[in-house]
Amino acid sequence: MSITFLRGIRPTKALTAIATGGISLGIYSRMMTGSAHADSGSPPKMFGSGPAFVSLPLESSEVVNHNTKRLRFRLPDENAVSGLALTSAVLTMSWPKGRWLPVARPYTPISPSGIARYGFPDGKQSAHLHSLTPGETLLFAAALKGPAWKPNDVPHVTLIAGGAGITPIYQLAQGILRNSEDKTKITLVFGINTDADALLKTEFDAFEKEFPGRFKAIYTVSRPEAGSLLRQGHVTKALLEKVAPNPTKQETKVFVCGPPAMEATLVGTRGSPGVLEQLGYRKDQIHTF
């Protein structure tokens, strides 16, 4: 079996100290499986609660758009699964050319078959990942837990993403929808710079067709191309009032992942309430990655 990643712009908060100025990566994942004992006959898991330190070879590299690649890494055992819990990320390590010390960056799982990543040539890790060719390896050090998700905890959840923050949001949406016992409805609000930045739109379009009435995606573009059918603008209070559940009338949750400025506007900063609090969300209803 193999795994796929989608590269993002910002580090997971748990790793800010060692990944400042870094990026986050996503892995599309149906590999969000429960725990299993080694002697139970279950498939071997790549990641557990402790360090993994496993090097996986790149199986294929596919250009997605002007700054994105999908990189597929092969697991050492064809029956292996990631063992990652929903909303998990993984910590990767590499030694880019010209560096004495390794560079550590977190990436978010999005699929069982590879890595998709943004290419930012000014970043050492970005350039290194972008230059990988099939057969070369990447070191995966450990799994990192994200915000907890409990199936059917609320009837309707809002997922808000900005740019490469779509990767953990996609992982969560897929995990909810692919769990036959989870009936939670999802509204996705995805803020992007251009139409070409609508990563995973094909997958989200498929979700809307497969789960009518349960999944709805809204895209808002700050610099739309001529003739664009997508909404123009940013993720605003007015937009969320229109498309998201009213937190004062029903129990709900919101998950946010995007650039720091976007998160500060939505979630707020110390002493300054954000848009979500202004809309009536309690602090325990707001979650970030």
**Residue-wise burial string across 230-245, b where 16 or more C-beta atoms lie within 10 A, e elsewhere:** beeeebeeebbeeebb
Torsion of CA 38, 43, 44, 47, to 10 degrees: -110
| HSE-up (13 A, CA, CB side) for residue 51 | 6
Cβ atoms of 231 and 219 within 8 Å: the answer is: yes
Beta bridge partners of 110: 28
| CA–CA gap between residue 239 and residue 283 (Å, rounded) | 20
| CA–CA gap between residue 137 and residue 282 (Å, rounded) | 44
| CA–CA gap between residue 92 and residue 102 (Å, rounded) | 10
| HSE-up (13 A, CA, CB side) for residue 224 | 13
Which CA distances in Å does 31 have to 88, 160, 177, 217? Answer: 11, 23, 14, 23
Please tell me what DSSP assigns to residue 60. Answer: E
| CA–CA gap between residue 112 and residue 5 (Å, rounded) | 9
**In which element (H, E) is residue 18 found?**
helix 16-19
Cβ atoms of 69 and 130 within 8 Å: the answer is: yes
* Unique residue bearing structure tokens 């930012």: 120
Radius of gyration of the chain (CA): 19
Q: Write out the two tokens for 48.
A: 């557990």
Query: Could you tell me which residues are annotated as the binding site?
Result: 105-107, 124, 126, 167
Query: Could you tell me which residues are annotated as the binding site for FAD?
Result: 105-107, 124, 126, 167
